[in-house]
């Protein structure tokens, strides 16, 4: 594993004794001098188009990583949460995988692919078209199954499906699908 802290995420890591390999950000929520000497630092210009988390993901991609687990990216400012969900799609479009963790759920985006869950999963699962239209959406092993459905981002039909104690799969043939699960 390679741990990248986006700006103030370094403070959380330090408080929880999580070794950070790289800190990246514009240092608007962290003092540069607070970073350990053995941690790589990339200081960004505060006038930029990318969020600190997107910059962190791009640095991870440059280092050869293809799967990203983002913690602390929800629950604060809504626009940043939404931007982090867009980062999931950014990764999916590039053929990579990202997971965004909140206190009670995980979000990921699948693109022209599928995700499978074991039989021990419980609770609700939701799937939303992230593109204007996703075709070939199939959900099996869940309370409400669909087969080869065309889902649109203008109608939230995919909210609150349920795990049933069976292995389940959500797939999309064409498009980016946001999947939210416990």
pLDDT at site 8? 81
Question: For residue range 31-77, what is the model confidence (pLDDT) as tens digits?
Answer: 656 777 788 888 888 888 888 999 999 999 999 999 999 999 897 88
The pLDDT of residue 32: 59
According to the model, what pLDDT value does residue 47 have?
Answer: 83
By CB atoms closer than 10 A (0-12, 13-18, 19+), residue 125 is buried
Give the other-Cβ count within 10 Å of 95's Cβ. 10
Residues listed for the chain:
182
Q: What is the DSSP-derived secondary structure letter of residue 94?
A: T
pLDDT at 1 (0 to 100)? 86
User: Residue 37: what pLDDT?
Assistant: 79
148-170: average pLDDT: 97
Contacts 24+ apart (CB under 8 A), 5-9: 5/56, 6/51, 6/52, 6/53, 6/55, 6/56, 7/52, 9/71, 9/72
Q: Rounded to the nearest 10 degrees, what angle do helices 52-62 and 78-93 cross at? A: 20
Is residue 30 predicted with pLDDT exceeding 70? no
């Amino acid at each position: 594993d390679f741990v990248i802290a986006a700006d103030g995420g370094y403070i959380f890591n330090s408080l929880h004794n999580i070794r950070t390999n790289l800190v990246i950000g514009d240092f608007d929520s962290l003092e540069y001098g607070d970073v350990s000497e053995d941690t790589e630092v990339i200081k960004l210009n505060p006038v930029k188009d990318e969020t600190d988390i997107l910059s962190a993901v791009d640095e991870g991609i440059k280092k050869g990583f293809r799967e990203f687990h983002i913690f602390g990216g929800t629950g604060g400012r809504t626009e940043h949460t939404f931007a982090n969900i867009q980062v999931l799609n950014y990764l999916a479009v590039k053929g990579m995988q990202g997971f965004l963790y909140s206190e009670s759920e995980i979000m990921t985006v699948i693109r022209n692919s599928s995700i499978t869950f074991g039989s021990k999963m419980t609770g609700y699962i939701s799937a939303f078209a992230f593109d204007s239209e996703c075709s070939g959406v199939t959900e099996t092993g869940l309370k409400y199954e669909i087969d080869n459905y065309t889902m649109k981002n203008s109608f939230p039909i995919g909210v609150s499906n349920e795990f049933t104690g069976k292995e389940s799969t959500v797939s999309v043939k064409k498009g980016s699908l946001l999947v939210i699960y416990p």
